[in-house]
Amino acid sequence: MFRILDSSSASGRIAFAASVAALVFGGPTSRVSAQGVIMQRNLSLGLAKSIVEATLAECSSKGFHTAAAVIDRAGQILVVMRDEQAGPETAEMARRKAYTARMFRTTTLEFRQRTTDPALAPQRNAPEALALGGGVPILAGGEIIGGVGSSGSNQEMDDACAKAGVARVADVLK
């Protein structure tokens, strides 16, 4: 129920001021401010580069020419690097493995195995998902903040290389 306030009288002006104050200090805006600011951990470019370099180094030490990619918590590319002798498809496959690990919150080897269940198989059809080993989620304090992908060797070696990339910076991710 609404009343029209008579702003010409003293009581009308007081009622109007009280109404404005209620809206400003105790009305709908107070619910908005109660939501606050969301704080997130995010990968820095430098940390992403360190992960990619360590991933490539691990595969190179085993004799493989690979590509590696790191994506952030939103699935956006931070770093992609490809060995000079790696195939042209490896960079895109590494990105998609990193994306799959981030979005499904598991390694892509585990994702590949899990989606053999007919009830979960449609997850493989999600855009950008790739059910091949070599993608690993990046966690900081138990929170997934990105993913790393490796491509160009076999699936188990790609997985091991991606895990080695994350392990290289584990002390920073605590």
Give the Cα separation of 30 and 59 in Å (integer): 54
Percent of the chain with pLDDT over 70: 80
The lowest-confidence range among 20-29, 62-71, 90-99, 152-161 is: 20-29
For residues 167 and 100, give the distance between their C-alpha atoms in angstroms, rounded to a whole number: 19
* Non-local CB neighbours of 169 within 8 Å, separated by 6+ positions: 47, 50, 51, 54
Domain 45-168 has CATH 3.30.450.150: yes
Q: Give the model's pLDDT for residue 35.
A: 83
Question: Please, what is the angle between helix 45-61 and helix 155-168, to 10°?
Answer: 130
> How far, rounded to the nearest angstrom, does the alpha carbon of residue 14 sit from its chain's CA centroid?
52
Mean pLDDT of the chain, nearest integer: 89
| pTM above threshold 0.85 | no
Give the pLDDT mean for 150-173. 97
d(CA 158, CA 136): 10
What's the pLDDT tens digit per position in 123-148? 999 999 999 999 999 999 999 999 99
